[in-house]
Structure 1
Amino acid sequence: MKPSNENNHKKQPGFWTHFAISLTIVGGMLAANFSSKAAESFSVEVIGKGKPVIMIPGLMSDASVWRPTAEALSGQYQLHLISIAGFAGKPAIDGELLPTVTQELLQYINQHHLKQPAIVGHSLGAFMAFNLASSAPEMIGTVIAVDGLPYLAPVFSRTNDTTVAMMQGQADYLRQQYQQMSPQQLSAMTAQGLFIQATSQQHQQQVLDMATRSDPKAAGQAVYELLTTDLRPVVHQIKSKVLLLGAGGALTSNADRERAKALYQQQIASIAHATLEFNEQSRHFIMLDQPAWLANQIISALQE
């Protein structure tokens, strides 16, 4: 896919290919481990006891990606592992997806009397974390965004000057393309970018399996909503601490990594208490590639 304003920018091969794929083609515990149907748009697995932490996976992923991290956290925290409708075998819903998930997650927080839960989100889930914290700043605690941003489109346009209006045509086109895909075609497309997602073949296969079981229409709707929803004008409303974690392991040079860091930093610049950290060894699924590093980052952020 090429951005509509491509000719206005010099090409930067490598980084932008990796970055775009990583953000758009994604996804024996302890006692007190149970599952529940919390809403139409998502289901929840609850693990552990303590301060509540909601963990949201990325595009075409489910709660299984969080289990390595949950094992490290469940002794201190009550973890609410989310699986979104239409992803990794979960039944899809009609109409808007991410706005529905946002609304129903806020209802879930109220219904279960979760006091300022921390939100840990990966990729699309990171976008959801920014959305929740800016929509209801009094309700949400610490935000930990794992390789995801308040607005996706700049990874295609190569500039944070990009607006929703610039991307509307691309978003419409992509949604239509996804709607016409078979599950096999969706799987084949995902397979092309697996080297960006995770380092080991085992984890790459895990990512592919989740995508293969995902609903193409739901994935297309999510991509459309990510490209047409810009949270940058509202993230300044976030009152809690924000930790944005980037993955630089698939980037090919120091210059690529510096460009990525600059783009990430610009997107959180208006948030009062925001910090950026990069893991230069990990690929997009940091929880699979660098589970100990990620768990330590989360624990440190939650304890501060």
Structure 2
Amino acid sequence: MKKILFLSITILCAQLAISQTPIKVEKSGDGNPILFLPGFTTPGTVWNETINNLNGNFETHTVSYAGFNGMEPIGTPWYAPVKDRLIEYVKEENLTNLTIIGHSMGGNLATDLTVALGDKVDGLILVDALPCMRDVMMPGVSANSLQYDSPYNNQMLGMPDDAFKNTALMMARNMTNNEDKVELIASWSIEADRKTYVYGYTDLLKLDLRPSLRDIQTETLILGATFPSKEMAQQTFEKQYASLKDKTIALADNSKHFIMFDQPEWLYSQINSYLARNAQ
């Protein structure tokens, strides 16, 4: 009886470990690999149209994250296990000549992976991503002052579903000019595991990847939105990426955070030009 109980517990723990993986990856195609990293709460499917508009043959690896889009949560900390599992994944798959494309928080992960993986990474494209969001959103606030147990986080955790939905819709309208995509973006937050949403965002605000930028040797394309203004966006990107040596900054006119929704053709053109140039 004890052996049967022990075996049952072992199987249950194994199933739980599998279900609580930090990432899920969809793999498709043949050619040099591209790792597509979406932003916070966003499913990997946000990259589908971009992938469909790639010029040439590539093996694409599209990532989704624990706690979002129906995936089981993994608890806290959240960002570090996601990053570590991505590094393991690239090594397990033996991906070389790799290009990493990351949007928003996916750009933070892309930056971390490029530093960690060294010469495995041949290309890096960051789409409306900042190495230290806190410096823009909360200037003067230290990372150590941000804790999981805080009045703001507790308010977000206890917020009624209707109020949270209204907040998500308001935030979504600030992320795209495409009215048809507002409810979609909001739904990703609404359907997310609430603790992952709240505590994972605390992880992101604590990040400051600016010191590690000087270790990146890969030619980097930084694509930014022009909201709230082109001048402000240009200054922000130049300041945040000042220590990154080999970079090009390009800004999409009339675009908010989800450039793939607001200026898709511009995005495809920028990515394809970079991939063609980087392959030479």
The interval holding the TM-score normalised by the smaller chain is 0.7 to 0.9
8 Å contact from structure 2 (residues 76, 200) kept in 1: no
Matches of 1:115 and 1:216 in 2, distance apart?
A: 36
Per the alignment, residue 164 of structure 1 pairs with 143
Give the alignment's TM-score, normalised by structure 2: 0.85
Within-5 A mapping of 1:45-60: 45-60=26-41
Structure 1 residues 264, 170: closer, same or farther in 2, change over 3 A?
Answer: farther
Matches of 2:235 and 2:192 in 1, distance apart?
A: 33
Q: 1:278 aligns with which of 221, 243, 251?
A: 251
* 1:89 Cα deviation after fit: 2.2
Q: Does 1:295 align with 2:274?
A: no
Structure 1 residues 143, 177: closer, same or farther in 2, change over 3 A?
Answer: farther
Tell me which protein shows more helix as a share of its residues: 2
Per the alignment, residue 4 of structure 2 pairs with none
RMSD of aligned alpha carbons: 2.3
8 Å contact from structure 1 (residues 174, 223) kept in 2: no
What SS class does the counterpart of residue 138 from structure 1 fall into? helix
8 Å contact from structure 1 (residues 235, 271) kept in 2: yes
Structure 1 residues 162, 141: closer, same or farther in 2, change over 3 A?
Answer: farther
Within-5 A mapping of 1:24-173: 40-73=21-54, 75-157=56-138, 163-165=142-144, 168=146, 172-173=150-151
* 1:88 Cα deviation after fit: 2.4
Structure 1 residues 117, 185: closer, same or farther in 2, change over 3 A?
Answer: farther
* 1:179 Cα deviation after fit: 3.3
Matches of 1:77 and 1:187 in 2, distance apart?
A: 38
Structure 1 residues 56, 134: closer, same or farther in 2, change over 3 A?
Answer: same
8 Å contact from structure 1 (residues 145, 244) kept in 2: yes
8 Å contact from structure 1 (residues 171, 228) kept in 2: no
Give the alignment's TM-score, normalised by structure 1: 0.78
Unaligned residue ranges in structure 2 (runs of 5+): 1-17
Structure 1 residues 174, 243: closer, same or farther in 2, change over 3 A?
Answer: farther
- 1:186-242 CA distance string (max 9 Å, x none): 332111122222222221122122222111111112211111121111111111111
* 1:59 Cα deviation after fit: 1.2
Question: Mean alpha-carbon deviation: is it higher for 141-150 or for 168-177?
Answer: 168-177
* 1:181 Cα deviation after fit: 3.9
Matches of 2:19 and 2:36 in 1, distance apart?
A: 14
8 Å contact from structure 1 (residues 60, 87) kept in 2: yes
- 1:169-197 CA distance string (max 9 Å, x none): 69944443443345554332111122222
Matches of 2:106 and 2:248 in 1, distance apart?
A: 18
Percent of aligned pairs sharing the same letter: 27
- 1:17-46 CA distance string (max 9 Å, x none): xxxxxxxxxxxxxxxxxxxx8981010112
Residue type of the alignment partner of 1:133: T
* 1:128 Cα deviation after fit: 1.0
8 Å contact from structure 2 (residues 102, 125) kept in 1: yes
Structure 1 residues 283, 85: closer, same or farther in 2, change over 3 A?
Answer: same
Matches of 2:260 and 2:266 in 1, distance apart?
A: 9
Matches of 1:39 and 1:48 in 2, distance apart?
A: 27
* 1:64 Cα deviation after fit: 1.6
Matches of 1:89 and 1:193 in 2, distance apart?
A: 21
Structure 1 residues 53, 100: closer, same or farther in 2, change over 3 A?
Answer: same
8 Å contact from structure 2 (residues 21, 74) kept in 1: yes
Residue type of the alignment partner of 1:264: F
- 1:65-118 CA distance string (max 9 Å, x none): 111101112752111110111122222112221111111111111111110421
8 Å contact from structure 1 (residues 44, 83) kept in 2: yes
What SS class does the counterpart of residue 26 from structure 2 fall into? strand
